Structure 1
C-alpha cells in the first residue's frame, strides 16, 4: 500500500473526537455505541474496579487477529490509532476494508485497563502491572485477556503499547518514533517459526514507515520474561507483534505518532490479507536498529555549576491534572552529556548558575521552563550526579 494512500485514508478517517494523551472509557463510549450499529460490540468482563471491558469483533475471514490496547492505562496513542483504523474498516465503500474483512476476523479490546486509563497510570486499580501478570493472572483484566486468547486461538496477536521519550533508534540522535518487537518465547530467545512470521510482518511495516520517518523506527529489546503477555504467547507459538508508540519531535500529544501507528496497522492488515506469510523473509527484521536510550526531553548545554562546566538534563514527568496531562519538568542529571541528545536543546554558553538563591540564570528561554531549582518543579534532591 502506497504511503500517499495511507495518508489520504488517515486524513479522511481520523477519529476527531480523540486527541492528546488522556484517553479513557468516557472518551470511547460514544464511539462504541456508534460502532455497535455497524458491528459486534460487547462487554466481555470488568476491571478490578468494575469498569467494563469491551470487545469489538468485525470480519468473517478465517485468519484470526487479536488486538488489545491500553494494557497500561497511560499508553493511549495506539487506542487513538485503533479507532482511526476502525473508521476505515467500517466504511462499506472501501475496497481494502472489504478484502480485509473477507479474509480476516478482527477481535479488538480498545482499553484493557479502564481503571489505569482513568487514573492515567501504567498500573491497574490494584497497582499491578498487567503486563507482568500473564502467568499468575491475579487480576480480573488478566483473566479476561487469557480467556479471550484461549477462546479465539488467534493466528496473530497485536500487543499495543507506548514508550517513553528516552528511546532512540539505535545509538543515534533520532528518536524511536515507532518501535516493534517479536517477543522471545524462551530464555535462549530462539528464532521459532511463530517469531519468524511476526518478524516478516514487522519488516513489511518498517519498509513503509521508512518512507515517512526514515531511521526513526526501533526494535525493542527481546529479553525474555515469561510473566509478560507477549512472551507467554510466543512460548505457545502464537505470532505476536508488539507496538511501541514513541516520540516525534514537538509531538508530546502523540498526534503525529498516531498517524504512523495507523500506517503500520494498515500495512500489517494488507500484509496478512494479501501476502503468503511463511516467515522466510524474517531477516529484514534484524536490520531495524535496537532501541537506544540516548534522549532527554531537554538538555541545557555548557553551563558553570560549582566551578564545573556541565550539562543539565531535564525529563518531563506526566501528571494528570483536571483531566489533562501536564508535563512537569524535573532535573535528572548534571554532568557531561555529550553522548546524549535533547528533544530540545538550550545553549548555556558557559553562563554561571548562582547556587546561593538556588535559581538557575542562564538564558531567557529558561523562564519558559520555569527553571528554578527551589520550586516545586525542581528539587535539589532530584539531581542525579
Structure 2
C-alpha cells in the first residue's frame, strides 16, 4: 500500500496550520454523523461541547483522543485524515471497520484550543489530572474510557521543536512512548503490546523519515493519563508529533502521523505484530533537547570595548494574534552552543553585531538585528 498516495487522497483540506479550534472540526463531525455516531459527552469549563465519535464493529476496541493540550493540533489533523479513510467505503476501510471499533475524542480541550494554550480554561494541565480528576474534561475522558473498555489507547500529542533524535542532529519528527505502569518501569503483558505496536510503526516510518523517530522518556507519573491507563492494564501508545525541516505549520508532520496510524492498524488487523519487539523499541533513540530554531555562529560583538567572537540562538514563541498563530523569534541563549543544533544555522563569519538598543544580544530580546553593514535580520531571518 502506498501510504503517501493514500494520505494525499484523504487529507482533510479544510483544516490546515497550527490553530485548530472546535469551530473548525464541528462541520467534519457533522459530515461523519450519518447514523448517530457522533455524540456530545459533556462540556468544557467554558461550556464548549466535547464530542466523541464511534465507528466500526470489530472486536478490537481502540480509544483515541487528541488536543488534551489545546495548542497541540497536529495529531488532530492526522486523526481527521485517518477518519476520512474510515469513511471512504474502500476495501481497506471495510477491513479496518470489521476488525476494530474506534472511539475518538478529537478535541478534549476546546477551551485551550481556542486560547492556544496547553492548559484548560482553569489553567490546569489535563495530563496531570488523571488521578484527582478535578476538571470536567478529565472526568469525561475517564468516564468514556471506563464505558468503552478499550483494548488499546492512543494518546495523541505534539512536542516542541527543541527535541532531536539523540545526538544525530536529526529532528524528532515523531516520537513514541509505551508509558510505564509502575515506578520500576517494568514490562508486563499490557506494556509489551504497546511496545510491539510502536516497534512495528517505527519500521514503516523509517522508510519515510529515516532517523527522525524518537522515543520519549518513560519516567513514571501516575498523574499522567497514559501512565494511568497503562497502570489499569490497557496498552497505551503516546504519540508526539514534532518538527520536520521547514515545516512550522506541521503539514508535513501530519502526514507521518497518518502513516503511523494507518500502518499500525494495518499491522494489528493482519496480526502482523512481532512477538517481542522490546529490542527494536529500545533501539529507537531517546528524545533529547538539542535543537534551537535559529542559531548564529561566529558573531563579533563589542563588549566593554573589546571585540569578541561568540554565538547565540533564538527560539520561536507561538503567539496568538487576531486569530492567527505568529512565530515570533526571541534570543534564548548566548555563548557556548556546543552539542546543540539549529533548524536554521547562519555563519556570521565574524561580522559585527548591531541592534537598535546597545549592540549586544540579550536573552528574551526580539531577534531583530544587523550583521555587518548590509545584513538586516527581522524576526530571526535575514531580510531579503
Please state which band the TM-score falls in when normalised by the shorter chain.
over 0.9
Residues 172 and 294, structure 1, Cα contact 8 Å, conserved in 2:
no
CA distance in 2, matches of 1:137, 1:16: 35
Matched ranges for 1:152-301 at <5 A: 152-275=148-271, 277=273, 279-301=275-297
Are the counterparts in 1 of residues 313 and 332 from structure 2 also a CA contact under 8 Å?
Answer: yes
1:101: which partner in 2?
Answer: 97
5+ residue gaps, structure 1, are: 373-385
Q: Find the aligned partners of 1:357 and 1:371 in 2 and give their Cα distance.
A: 18
Distance (whole Å) between structure 2 residues aligned to residue 355 and residue 342 of structure 1: 22
State the 1:179 CA deviation: 0.3
1:309 and 2:309 equivalent? yes
Q: For residue 323 of structure 1, what is the aligned residue in structure 2?
A: 323
Choose from 73, 86, 102 the match for 1:76: 73
Q: TM-score, normalised by structure 2?
A: 0.93
SS of 1:49 mapped into structure 2 = coil
> Structure 1, residues 23-78: CA drift from partner, whole Å, max 9, x if none?
01010011111010266001011111111000000000111000000000000000
Match of 1:14 among 11, 17, 21: 11
Give CA-to-partner distance per residue, 1:169-194, whole Å, 9 cap, x none: 11121000000000011111111111
Note the aligned Cα RMSD (angstroms): 1.6
Matches of 2:9 and 2:200, distance apart in 1: 24
Q: What is the alpha-carbon distance in structure 2 between the residues aligned to residue 197 and residue 139 of structure 1?
A: 30
Unaligned regions of 5+ residues in structure 2, if any? 360-368
User: Which residue is equivalent to 2:127?
Assistant: 131
Specify the SS of the correspondent of 2:353: coil
Where does structure 1 differ by over 4 angstroms across 4 or more consecutive aligned residues?
276-279, 363-366
The Cα of 1:356 is off from its aligned counterpart by 8.4
Of 366, 371, 376 in structure 2, the residue corresponding to residue 362 of structure 1 is 371
CA distance in 1, matches of 2:93, 2:245: 32
Q: Residues 64 and 169 (structure 1 numbering): CA distance in 2 closer, same or farther, change over 3 Å?
A: same
**Following superposition of structure 1 onto structure 2, how do residues 77-92 of structure 1 map, counting pairs within 5 Å?**
77-92=74-89
Matched residue of 2:281: which SS? helix
- Number of matched pairs: 368
Shift of residue 268 of structure 1?
1.2
| 1:361–1:103 distance in 2 versus 1, CA, 3 Å | same
Find out whether 1:342 has 2:342 as its counterpart: yes
Please state whether the residue corresponding to 1:168 is helix, strand or coil: strand
Q: Deviations over 1:283-327 (max 9, x none)?
A: 211110000111000001111232332111100000011111100
Cα separation, 2, equivalents of 1:196 and 1:371:
45
CA distance, structure 2, for counterparts of residue 140 and residue 154 of structure 1: 21
Q: Is the 8 A contact 1:156 1:238 kept in 2?
A: yes
Q: 2: distance between equivalents of 1:142 and 1:288?
A: 31
1:253 CA displacement: 0.3
